Amino acid sequence: MLLLAVLVLSVYVGEAQAGPDTPSILATMLKWTPLLAQGFALNIAMSFLAMAIGTVLGLALGLGLIALVRPVRATSWVITQFFRNAPWLVLLFYCVLLMPFEVRVGGTIIPLPGWAKSTAGLALPVMANVAELVRGAVQSIPAGQWEAAEALALTRLQTLRLVILPQCVKRMTPPWMNLYAIVVVGTPLASIVGVNEAMTLTGDVLSSEGRTELLVPMYLYLLTWFFVYCYPIARATVALERRFQVS
Amino acid sequence: MIDLTPFWDWFRDLYAATGIKLTIFYDAFDRARFINGFFTSVRLMALCIVASVVIGVLGAWVQRSQVWLLRATMAAYIQFFRNTPPLVQLYFFYFALGSYLRVTNDVGLAVPVVSSFTWAAICLSLYAGAFNVEIFRAGIEAVPNETVEAAEALGYSRLRAYIHVILPLAFRISLPALNNNLVNLVKTTTIAYAIAVPEMLYVANQIWSDELNVSEMMNVLLVIYVLLVGIVVYVMGRWERAMRIPGYMP
């Protein structure tokens, strides 16, 4: 992993040596860093929101996947398969183009800016994936737990709430964190539908500076931002997986 | 050629009756470009699937190498492509690297050597290949050590043992995760829209800009992509079932 740090540093050195112009490449990158930081903050905010909304909805959908009533189970299965198998960009387009730009509730007008619709578009596949996680985790709980709960005269809802789901949380955490990393890495898709986030701003910076030798450094810079954010998540996921190993 | 005009005209009548505008059926120009876009998408998906599996197999071999530098480079490649957005990787390849790969044609203009389709194929194959290397590594590690030692005792070289003994056994174990990754790859090919590869989403965008039938085109796209992914899942499921040994839990 030391090699990774070396690679990142060598990337910067290579960028600096690329052009001998008066405003150096590193200085330009530093100049635009506050703007990129704002854009990246929007990316992170969108990922948090999409993950939160998607997790709540996914929990509900996951419980629908293990329902005793067959129509509920079938509908949940169809919804899960549909949103898992649809490309994220197509879902984003769908939400951004077909949701209204403002909603009138009672007397108040709630504006729906682009980033809010993109967040909703990202929350849909999160919902489907979390539902699958919940279903897998619940089905991996040994049958003895269900039988013991039944022996204690707990209703199905009580069993789920008091016995099964608390045990599921541990199993679900590593793949859930993995899903979060995937969502973070998916937020630049919103730049295609017109949200002003880090990817769009990088493009704006490049077009405003107008220097071709900035192309490689700026894109590598943006890639490094995402790498620095996602790599610790990936390591933490691996460590948690090892700790929560259910043999 | 059978004359399909009555079939296409049904959609024209549908538009007249209900306002559902599906010009990709009754308008010859839209139909032609949508079919071209569909086949471009399918070509891109097939190319990326094959290339990423090849990269995965080769990468898993390099990961077992005795040379530290090769192993470290492979680890760096995997971590880089797994923890960065595929869209930004694509922009990096197409705009940043592409700006260096230009030749002057006979008119005197600078034209790119590598087309957008090729860059999309390269970037997506590398992206999915990074995940595949990890998947095959997990499969290879699940092959029992005794089997590898038995191959060594029978006189297989490292490479021959890898090809004839380890890989086939590893495939069976990695198939579910490989299935998952290939589905993700098929879904991720839509990002080629961003560099103007004329695949389905891009062509649909052009059509709905001309015909103003956004919701119809979006619905058609959703259905087609879900069907394509369903085909991949079905084929991989058939393969999984063919390779399954009941009761074998490595």
**Complex prediction ipTM:** 0.84
Q: What's at B185, amino acid-wise? A: L
pTM: 0.86
Of residues B181, B211, B180, B192, the one with CA closest to residue B40: B192
What is the pLDDT of chain B when averaged over all its residues?
A: 87
| B115-151: pLDDT as tens digits | 889 999 999 999 999 999 999 998 888 888 999 999 9
* CATH superfamily ID and name for B46-209+227-243: MetI-like (1.10.3720.10)
Distance between CA atoms of residues A118 and A99, nearest Å: 10
Look at B88 and A222 and tell me if their CB atoms are within 8 Å. Answer: yes
Contacts for A207 with CB less than 8 Å, ≥ 6 apart: none
Average pLDDT over residues B91-103: 83
Average pLDDT over residues B198-216: 89
List CB contacts (< 8 A) between B193 and chain A. 89, 192
pLDDT of residue B109: 77
Distance between CA atoms of residues A97 and A114, nearest Å: 10
List CB contacts (< 8 A) between B186 and chain A. 87
Q: Does a structural domain hold residue A237? A: yes
Partner residue facing B96 (CB), from A4, A186, A219: A219
Q: In this structure, what CATH number is given to the domain that contains residue A189?
A: 1.10.3720.10
Whether the per-residue pLDDT at A3 is higher than 60: the answer is: no
List CB contacts (< 8 A) between A223 and chain B. 80, 84-85, 88-89, 92
Look at B92 and A191 and tell me if their CB atoms are within 8 Å. Answer: no
Look at B187 and A85 and tell me if their CB atoms are within 8 Å. Answer: yes
Distance between CA atoms of residues A244 and B127, nearest Å: 28
B190 touches chain A (CB under 8 A): yes
| A112-142: pLDDT as tens digits | 888 899 999 999 999 999 999 999 899 888 9
Q: How many domains does chain A have?
A: 1
Look at A3 and B201 and tell me if their CB atoms are within 8 Å. Answer: no
Contacts for B153 with CB less than 8 Å, ≥ 6 apart: none
| A42-92: pLDDT as tens digits | 999 999 999 999 999 999 999 999 988 999 999 999 999 899 888 999 899
Distance between CA atoms of residues B54 and B16, nearest Å: 50
List CB contacts (< 8 A) between B102 and chain A. none
| A208-223: pLDDT as tens digits | 888 777 788 888 888 8
Look at B187 and A87 and tell me if their CB atoms are within 8 Å. Answer: yes
Looking at chain B from residue 98 to 157, which residues have their Cβ under 8 Å from any Cβ of chain A?
99-100
Q: How far is A154 from chain B (nearest CA, A)?
A: 34
Distance between CA atoms of residues B187 and B189, nearest Å: 6
Q: By CB neighbour count within 10 A (0-12 exposed, 13-18 middle, 19+ buried), where does B17 fall?
A: exposed
Whether the per-residue pLDDT at A95 is higher than 80: the answer is: yes
Q: By CB neighbour count within 10 A (0-12 exposed, 13-18 middle, 19+ buried), where does B186 fall?
A: buried
Q: Does a structural domain hold residue A3? A: no
Partner residue facing B84 (CB), from A89, A185, A187: A185
Q: What is the DSSP string of chain B?
A: ----HHHHHHHHHHHHHH----HHHH-HHHHHHHHHHHHHHHHHHHHHHHHHHHHHHHHHHHHT-S-HHHHHHHHHHHHHHHSS-HHHHHHIIIIIITTTSEEE-TTS-EEESS-HHHHHHHHHHHHHHHHHHHHHHHHHHTS-HHHHHHHHHTT--HHHHIIIIIHHHHHHHHHHHHHHHHHHHHHHGGGGGGGT---HHHHHHHHHHHH--HHHHHHHHHHHHHHHHHHHHHHHHHHHHHH--TT---
List CB contacts (< 8 A) between B91 and chain A. 199, 203, 219
Q: How far is A233 from chain B (nearest CA, A)?
A: 9
| A4-20: pLDDT as tens digits | 666 666 666 666 665 55
Q: Are B86 and B127 in contact (CB under 8 A)?
A: yes
Contacts for B80 with CB less than 8 Å, ≥ 6 apart: A4, A7, A223, A227, B130
pLDDT of residue A247: 44
Q: Does a structural domain hold residue A15? A: no
Contacts for A23 with CB less than 8 Å, ≥ 6 apart: none
C-alpha distance from residue B215 to each of A103, A209, B12 (Å): 19, 38, 17
Distance between CA atoms of residues A240 and A175, nearest Å: 10
pLDDT of residue A134: 92
Distance between CA atoms of residues A175 and A182, nearest Å: 10
Partner residue facing A226 (CB), from B85, B188, B225: B85
Look at B226 and A85 and tell me if their CB atoms are within 8 Å. Answer: yes
Q: How many CB pairs under 8 A join A and B?
A: 115
SS3 state of residue A109: strand
User: Range of A125's domain?
Assistant: 34-242
Look at B229 and A85 and tell me if their CB atoms are within 8 Å. Answer: yes
Contacts for B182 with CB less than 8 Å, ≥ 6 apart: B49, B52, B128, B232, B236
Looking at chain B from residue 206 to 235, which residues have their Cβ under 8 Å from any Cβ of chain A?
214-215, 218, 221-222, 225-226, 229-230, 233
The confidence band for B107, taking pLDDT boundaries of 50, 70 and 90, is: confident
| A192-207: pLDDT as tens digits | 988 888 999 988 888 8
B249 touches chain A (CB under 8 A): no
SS3 state of residue A108: strand
Q: How far is A156 from chain B (nearest CA, A)?
A: 31
Distance between CA atoms of residues B100 and B103, nearest Å: 9
